[in-house]
Amino acid sequence: MARVGVFICHCGSNIAGKVDVEAVARESASIPGVAYSSHNKYSCSEAGQKTIIDAIKENRLDRVVIGACSPKMHENTFRNTIRQAGLNPYMLEIANLREHVSWVTEDRDAATRKALDLVRSAVGKVAFAKPLTPGKVPVEKRALIIGGGIAGIQAALDIAGMGYEVVLVEREPSIGGRMAQLDKTFPTLDCSACILSPRMVDVAQNPNIRLLSYSEVESVGGYVGNFDVVIRKKARYVNESKCTGCLECVSKCPVRKIPNEFENGKAMRRAIYVPFAQSVPKVPVIDKNHCQYLLSPDPSTIEVKEGERKPRRRCGACKIVCGQDAIDFEQQDEFIKEKFGAIVLATGFNPFDHSKYGEYGAGRIPDVITALDFERMVNSSGPTEGKILRPSNGEKPQRVVFIQCVGSRDEAKGVPYCSRICCMFTAKQAILTREKLPDAEVFVFYMDIRAAGKGYEEFVRRAQMEYGAEYIRGRVSRVYESDGRLIVKAADTLAGLPVEMEADLVVLATGSVAREDAFELASAIGITTDSYGFISEVHPKLKPVEIPREGVFACGACLSPRDIPDTVATAGAVAAKVGILFSKDFLESDPMVAEIDPFKCAACGACVAVCPYSAITMEEFRGKKFAKVNEAMCQGCGTCTAACRPGAAQLKGQTDEQILRSVEAVLQW
Amino acid sequence: MRGYSMKVSGQLRSINTHLKREIEKLSGQKLDACYLCGKCSAGCPVAPYQDIAPHVVMRLAQLGHKSVLESKMIWNCVSCGTCVTRCPNNVDPAKVCEALSRISKREGLVNSKVALALREKFVDLIKNRGRVHELTLVIQLKMASGDWFSDLDVGIPMFLQGRLPISGHRIKDLKNFKKLFEGNKEGNK
């Protein structure tokens, strides 16, 4: 006969305020199988746990029911408690008397009755519990990082610094991400490229980091410690091992009018190109959608009829000038299959597409530009070589107007959240404008200034007081062209006055939105995003970089809009979490997995078909077929147990018998 | 009006949550959704000529401040809809103005005789003819305001160009049309 101990927790007044805990403890003593019952003010406290340990030893209890909060909170705590008393940690059942009872009712009597029912049910179930031991799975100590912006770069360097191997996958031809596009960084005004490019070079030179640029993750399988990942290395048409980065090929390419993505389309690149001067790796890429050679058919395969002109020779200028013979037009996409122990998502963000703002011209007014356009314009390697000019006529603007919250805090445009960085980069851009054009006037239209960060408020005050940027509180209603200038229609809500001013250049502080391609990636990995498409963390406060799929982490702006300091901080946090994972040679696997009795199994294959984790395979032994569960891959969802008709599939710790007994216990009374 | 007034000093003494609820109910707008960015005031074509700007109307409405009922803005809103088109929070200040003007009329706090006369005469004309007759409306308005000469520079050219015809149009099925107003009597808005 089982000897069950029942311990009812007051949880201060959380449970005891609604449930008569003493009555529940008293009544539980009469449930068959219960050898001991008591109640305790805080069972999870050290003193509370000691009481439980002592009671187990004194009363020779062999299994325990604890009526307390949700098992999500303290199941592990109490498993450890009973382990200390010499019991198998899985001889424990939790009756949730807080979230399921006291917190959801006002009725004290009903709460007490329900609490007792839940305790009876738990006693019925625990009576049939069996000792379980966790399995062990080895950890592949290599990390995959998806995204080569500052987040991915920092995480890669930190993980590699711990001595673990890292593969960094970047879909663009160069790492660097959004930070590489910026000119200066707030609040210190240090040059973005100057602080970023040394790290990019570190990535290239670190022996523990393998950089796969111009590559994408195709699929992710497996589980924590043992992910199977397929990476597509897109054809670059340039042999990376032969190329020296002389860029002779780029200067000879005849296709010149392709909008450069890195310059936000505001400058042109060629069909063979590196995105920017400090690119890592400094190996050009041939854009197969624009390359004359790749787009034209092979002349040798074309039959020339009598009287027709022979087709033109294919271009191949880059191949001719390349001294290293690095150009390879025959290159194909390559699929790399590798095993990783951990995956880090660092996929970043996109700037808001302001074509939704018809009142600001929706991108059709040339002198209304976005903050990213401005960053490139003010950068000395950008399209205007650092000069602030009106795109419409190339003249210096006399008055520059900045409009904040474009694509932020705007429910009507589907972006009700604050993008966090725009107040600061607008202040920075206002300062840069006043520095470069001391004669120009600068106006900033804002709703609220959110400058919560080290040195941030001081920075905004400097923009106003030292640099003379005029801040006007009010959202701009409309921007339109008139006689070659722009008219900005707004209101100063503090003065209560309408404001209508002429301007030469309007800069929209476009907010941050989630990347749509990251959403596809998230679905492929099987993790969730919030309603805006940002990746959801396990807990916004206490597990900010962990993702509900174990072994997968995320850092940077793919979680939510954030600035560079926060991005770097979360990248470091991810590295620490990966380090914790890799510090073990083996992982304990949850023993609450499915198990299939080969003698009962009818080999119908129903479980194989329904298993969402592909953890069940058909085996054969001496001519008899049966299904078998891979315990390392099983997540304990129980789908197979519901599908199994002979009842051969059972979830350990949740067997049919245990569940039926727990239902029975409630119905009996 | 009944209702609990906050015991605070000076102007804010007339803050009234009951008034706020009534405005919300009448206008169908969630007043607290407004964060007072001022984009409505920035785009409003009539705001520059009013006593208070639309976002101030919204703020006073949020407070349930009685003074908003005496404002001219709530009567002179032309319901063009610029504010709601551009509002980041999908609030409709024109509807709030309309609700406020109705409360203002009921409470006898209308600050603009002409505005009230315009509203009443306009509705009367529609009721009786199914369509507005501009000349009648102008004459009735002039009678209400007692100001006969201010708009002559606009009125005479309009009259000469046939914009203020002497005989107006009526609509076809006036009897059935009037039933629409009967529905209104039963509180069927």
- How far does CA B113 lie from the centroid of its chain? 12
Q: What is the dihedral of CA A359, A365, A371, A377, to 10 degrees?
A: -170
Q: How far apart are CA A21 and CA A39, in angstroms?
A: 7
Q: How far is B94 from chain A (nearest CA, A)?
A: 16
Q: How confident is the model at residue B187 (pLDDT cuts 50, 70, 90)?
A: very low
Express each pLDDT in A24-69 by its tens digit.
Answer: 999 999 988 999 999 999 999 999 999 999 999 999 999 999 999 9
Express each pLDDT in A605-646 by its tens digit.
Answer: 899 999 887 889 898 888 888 999 988 778 888 999 999 998
Residue A456 has pLDDT above 70, yes or no: yes
- Within a 10 A sphere around the Cβ of A271, how many other Cβ atoms? 26
Interchain CB distance below 8 Å, A474 and B52: no
Kindly state whether A409 is in contact with chain B, defined as any CB-CB distance less than 8 angstroms: yes
What number is the average pLDDT over the span A530-556? Answer: 90
Higher pLDDT, B1 or A491: A491
Q: Is residue A240 within 8 Å of A281, Cβ to Cβ?
A: yes
Interchain CB distance below 8 Å, B38 and A478: no
Residue A111 has pLDDT above 90, yes or no: yes
Residue B2 has pLDDT above 50, yes or no: no
Kindly state whether B16 is in contact with chain A, defined as any CB-CB distance less than 8 angstroms: no
Express each pLDDT in A382-418 by its tens digit.
Answer: 899 899 999 999 999 999 999 999 999 999 999 999 9
For residue B41, give the chain A residue with the closest CA: A491
Q: How far is B74 from chain A (nearest CA, A)?
A: 16
Mutate to test the interface with B, among A406, A471, A477 (most CBs of B within 10 A): A477
Task: Give the H or E element holding residue A627.
Answer: strand A624-629
Express each pLDDT in A321-331 by its tens digit.
Answer: 998 889 998 89
Interchain CB distance below 8 Å, A491 and B82: no
What number is the average pLDDT over the span A574-601? Answer: 91
Q: How far apart are CA A604 and CA B118, in angstroms?
A: 82
Query: Quick one: tokens of B59?
Result: 């703020």
Express each pLDDT in B74-133 by its tens digit.
Answer: 998 999 999 999 999 999 999 999 999 999 989 888 887 778 888 888 888 888 888 888
Mutate to test the interface with A, among B37, B80, B89 (most CBs of A within 10 A): B37
Higher pLDDT, A258 or A521: A258
Q: Which of B47, B52, B90 sits opposite A498 (nearest CB)?
A: B47
Mean pLDDT of chain A: 91
Interchain CB distance below 8 Å, A412 and B89: yes
Q: How far is A483 from chain B (nearest CA, A)?
A: 20
Percentage of chain A surpassing pLDDT 70? Answer: 99
Q: How confident is the model at residue B185 (pLDDT cuts 50, 70, 90)?
A: low
Express each pLDDT in A134-143 by its tens digit.
Answer: 888 889 999 9
Q: Is residue A125 within 8 Å of A33, Cβ to Cβ?
A: no
For residue A499, give the chain B residue with the closest CA: B42
Residue A622 CB-density burial (10 A; 0-12 exposed, 13-18 middle, 19+ buried): exposed
Q: Which of A412, A493, A499 sits opposite B88 (nearest CB)?
A: A412
Q: How far apart are CA B144 and CA B166, in angstroms?
A: 20
Q: How far apart are CA A82 and CA A576, in angstroms?
A: 31
Q: Is residue B130 within 8 Å of B159, Cβ to Cβ?
A: no
Phi/psi at A633 (5° precision): -90, -25
Whether the upstream peptide bond of residue A299 has omega within 30° of 0, thus cis, is no
Sheet of A485-492: strand order equals A478-482, A485-492, A497-503
A-chain CB neighbours of B87 within 8 Å are 412
Q: How confident is the model at residue B11 (pLDDT cuts 50, 70, 90)?
A: low
Q: Which of B43, B48, B90 sits opposite A477 (nearest CB)?
A: B43
Interchain CB distance below 8 Å, B42 and A490: yes
Residue A449 has pLDDT above 90, yes or no: yes
pLDDT of residue B6: 39
Kindly state whether B34 is in contact with chain A, defined as any CB-CB distance less than 8 angstroms: no
Q: How confident is the model at residue A221 (pLDDT cuts 50, 70, 90)?
A: confident
Q: How far apart are CA B28 and CA A396, in angstroms?
A: 49
Q: Is A439 helix (H, G, I), strand (E, B) or coil?
A: coil
Kindly state whether B39 is in contact with chain A, defined as any CB-CB distance less than 8 angstroms: yes
pLDDT of residue B183: 64
Express each pLDDT in A150-199 by its tens digit.
Answer: 999 999 999 999 999 999 999 999 999 999 999 999 999 999 999 999 99
Q: Dihedral of CA A462/A463/A466/A470: which sign?
A: negative
Ranges of each domain in chain B: 10-107, 113-185
Residue B3 has pLDDT above 80, yes or no: no
Return the closest-CA partner of residue A109 out of A13, A12, A25, A23.
Answer: A23
Residue A299 has pLDDT above 50, yes or no: yes
Kindly state whether A473 is in contact with chain B, defined as any CB-CB distance less than 8 angstroms: yes
pLDDT of residue A311: 66
Q: Is A501 helix (H, G, I), strand (E, B) or coil?
A: strand
Detail the DSSP E strand segments found in A308-398.
Answer: 334-340, 342-345, 349-351, 368-370
Interchain CB distance below 8 Å, B53 and A496: yes
DSSP alpha helix (H) spans, A454-499 = 456-465
Looking at beta carbons, which pairs linking A379-385 to residues 24 or more positions away fall under 8 Å? A379/A182, A379/A183, A381/A193, A381/A276, A381/A277, A382/A183, A382/A263, A382/A266, A382/A267, A383/A263, A383/A266, A383/A267
Taking only Cα atoms into account, the Rg of chain B, rounded to an integer number of angstroms, comes to 19
Place of tokens 């399209």: A383
Express each pLDDT in A642-661 by its tens digit.
Answer: 999 989 999 999 999 999 99
pLDDT of residue B189: 42
Kindly state whether B1 is in contact with chain A, defined as any CB-CB distance less than 8 angstroms: no
Q: Which residues make beta-bridge pairs with A9?
A: A40
Kindly state whether A477 is in contact with chain B, defined as any CB-CB distance less than 8 angstroms: yes
Residue B8 has pLDDT above 60, yes or no: no
Q: How confident is the model at residue B13 (pLDDT cuts 50, 70, 90)?
A: low
Q: How far apart are CA A277 and CA A185, in angstroms?
A: 19
Q: Is residue B54 within 8 Å of B71, Cβ to Cβ?
A: no
Q: Is residue A95 within 8 Å of A65, Cβ to Cβ?
A: yes
Task: Give the H or E element holding residue A403.
Answer: strand A399-406
Residue type, A42: Y
Interchain CB distance below 8 Å, B43 and A473: no
pLDDT of residue A172: 94
DSSP sequence for A148-189:
-SHHHHHHHHHHHHTT-EEEEE-SSSSS-HHHHH-SEETTTT
pLDDT of residue A316: 85
Q: How far is B188 from chain A (nearest CA, A)?
A: 30
Express each pLDDT in A27-39 by its tens digit.
Answer: 999 988 999 999 9
ipTM, two decimals, is: 0.70
Mean pLDDT of chain B: 82
Residue A115 has pLDDT above 90, yes or no: yes
Query: Quick one: tokens of B183?
Result: 């529905």
Interchain CB distance below 8 Å, B37 and A474: yes
Domains and CATH numbers, chain A: 4-133 (3.40.50), 142-234+340-348+515-582 (3.50.50.60), 248-331 (no CATH), 353-513 (3.50.50.60), 593-651 (3.30.70.20)
Q: Is residue B37 within 8 Å of B88, Cβ to Cβ?
A: yes
Residue A512 has pLDDT above 90, yes or no: yes
Top CATH class of B10-107 equals mainly alpha
Q: Indicate the pairing of strand A142-146 with strand A342-345.
A: parallel
Q: How confident is the model at residue B9 (pLDDT cuts 50, 70, 90)?
A: very low
Q: Is A258 helix (H, G, I), strand (E, B) or coil?
A: strand
